[in-house]
Amino acid sequence: MRNPLALVAGAAECLPEARALADELKIPCLDCVDPVDIAEPAYVLQLGAQLQLCATGRKAPGPVLVDFVGGTLAHRRKYGGGKGQQIAKAVGIRGGFGPRVVDATAGLGRDAFVLASLGCAVHMLERNTVVRALLRDGLERLRRAASEDPTLAEIAARMTLEERPISALDWLAQQPANSIPVVYLDPMFPARDKSAKVKKEMAAFHQLVGSDEDADALLAPAYAACYYRVVVKRPRVAPFLAGKKPALSLQGKSGRFDIYTKHGIPT
């Protein structure tokens, strides 16, 4: 079976780092090739000024990358509603209190960044090695930008990434009971049908990661490890995780936050 993914360098000076990363990820390195000129594989990681996941071919959509500095996350940090956002209410942010959060299914780190920007220390877990590499690259660029921006420096200091190749299920099972203030779960949910709308740029990401078929198994160890609550982000019509009804749910237009409480949040 052909490898569904390869790595390319965006410039000659990036080649040594690109080859080292390809060895780490156990995928082939095609050296300096433009993704538009590649017929196979269907997707490549391109390492240049940033690491990005690209579909190949001349009609490919734009790349997927982790950008904590600009784009939509910069806009949300400035104008997203602050502590009035549903995610803030779901994890229990109030006044000067921002609980430490373990984001056990971090993905591209967007919710982790929002929580860190609202004052929470966030530790991210991501079992997919390629997605974890994208996260690591995004964090490195955030920290470089933070050297010139005190606001970003505060956010960067609150974000950490688990580098061990360990699943969230195993990591949570290793934690002492009641040791994590809040565990946050946002498992990848399978599309309900072939007409489900997914942005073209995200098609590569969804194909790479797939759905989290073992997501139900996360709830029990997450609840055992948490002190205050487990927060589960779900599509609006999705069933409860593991079939367990939460203590409360916060409904939105397209999604909801299911909250499994253990101890009360400080007032």
Binding residues for S-adenosyl-L-methionine: 110-111, 126-127, 186
In single-letter form, the type of residue at position 160 comes to: T
Helix axes 129-146, 15-25, angle to 10 degrees: 140
* Cβ within 8 Å of residue 170, ≥6 positions away: none
**For residues 213 and 210, what is the distance between their CA atoms, to the nearest angstrom?**
9
Helices (H) and strands (E) in the chain, counts: 9, 10
Q: Which residues are annotated as a binding site?
A: 110-111, 126-127, 186
User: Is the distance from CB of 6 to CB of 41 less than 8 angstroms?
Assistant: yes
The Cα-based distances of 60 to 31, 198, 210 in angstroms read 20, 15, 20
